[in-house]
Amino acid sequence: MIKLIVGLGNDGETYEHTRHNVGRFVVSTFPTQEEIVVSQNSGFMNVCGSSVRRLVEKYGVAPEQVCVVHDDIAFDVGDYRLQFNRNANGHHGVESIISSFGTKGFWRMRVGIGSVPQGVDQSEFVLSKLTDIDEAHITKMCDAMWKSIQTVT
């Protein structure tokens, strides 16, 4: 059972509504429940492992009870996959968590932000603001993401 959900992103107004902060955005829509803690990493995404580890220790949960929600360029905007025990696939925030945990045995909600357009730097793309249409589409999918997480027993 998932007991801790962590939305990944970067601190600060500069990063609000960017593709890279989709994890934070998604978890902000999740309802509060006594048996599941919903939180966000502190600091910056690419070095978030220690921040997520502190949350694990604070709430006394095991890595396999954690679901990390993050952006993913492998999927169209709003598409998502809930997966367990997977490689980072080049996502630096997930790499940091795997390194900090010493295992990849945790849940990941990979939220699509679209693929990087040809000729655009990947860093520039993920740090760009979501369009209103993209944000609305992701918002529409948040309830389904929440329900998906609740199916893990």
Q: In this structure, are residues 76 and 19 in contact, taking their beta carbons and an 8 Å threshold?
A: no
Q: Could you tell me which residues are beta bridge partners of residue 111?
A: 71, 80
Q: How far is CA 95 from the centre of its chain?
A: 13
pLDDT, residue 151, reads: 92
20 part of the active site: yes
pLDDT, residue 34, reads: 86
CA distance 117 to 26: 23
Q: Three-state SS for 116?
A: coil
User: Per residue in 63-92, pLDDT tens?
Assistant: 999 999 999 999 999 999 999 999 999 999
> Residue written as tokens 């389904």?
144
Boundaries of every domain in the chain: 4-150
pLDDT, residue 46, reads: 94
Average pLDDT across the chain, whole number: 96
User: Per residue in 14-49, pLDDT tens?
Assistant: 999 999 999 999 999 999 888 999 999 999 999 999
Q: Three-state SS for 72?
A: strand
pLDDT, residue 128, reads: 97
pLDDT, residue 147, reads: 96
pLDDT score of 153 more than 90 = no
Task: Give kind and range of the element (H or E) at residue 97.
Answer: helix 92-101
pLDDT, residue 32, reads: 86
Q: Could you tell me which residues are beta bridge partners of residue 37?
A: 4
Catalytic residue (one of 20, 70, 91, 92): 20
Task: List the CATH code of the domain at 4-150.
Answer: 3.40.50.1470
